[in-house]
């Protein structure tokens, strides 16, 4: 899990790499966005289960939560105000 801070936009970008899966969570126009292996996943398509079954991405409260318990990652959560 890698946290990047965009100083110009004053926002966080979270990058999670799990085996061959690359997930980006970031804010764009006050909406949390999700990309999996470079492909944007619309919020309307959540919950998202990766075809290999290794990760689950879902809406939680006002943010997005990523779960990969098989790899020891219980939850990464991002909303407009917090990263947990």
Predicted confidence at residue 65, as pLDDT, reads: 93
Predicted confidence at residue 80, as pLDDT, reads: 74
pLDDT of the chain along its 84 residues, tens only? 777 766 565 667 888 898 889 999 888 877 888 999 999 999 899 999 988 778 999 999 888 999 999 888 899 888 777 666
- Entry pTM: 0.81
Predicted confidence at residue 47, as pLDDT, reads: 94
Report residue 64: phi and psi, to 5°. Answer: -125, 135
Angle at 69 between CA 65 and CA 75, to 5 degrees: 25
Predicted confidence at residue 49, as pLDDT, reads: 92
């Amino acid at each position: 899990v890698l946290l990047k801070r965009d100083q110009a936009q004053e926002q966080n970008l979270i990058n999670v790499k799990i085996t061959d899966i690359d997930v980006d969570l970031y804010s764009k126009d006050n909406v949390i966005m999700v990309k999996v292996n470079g492909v944007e996943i619309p919020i309307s398509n959540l919950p998202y289960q990766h075809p290999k079954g290794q990760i689950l991405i879902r809406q939680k409260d006002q943010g997005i939560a990523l779960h990969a318990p098989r790899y020891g990652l219980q939850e990464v959560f991002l909303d407009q105000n917090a990263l947990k």
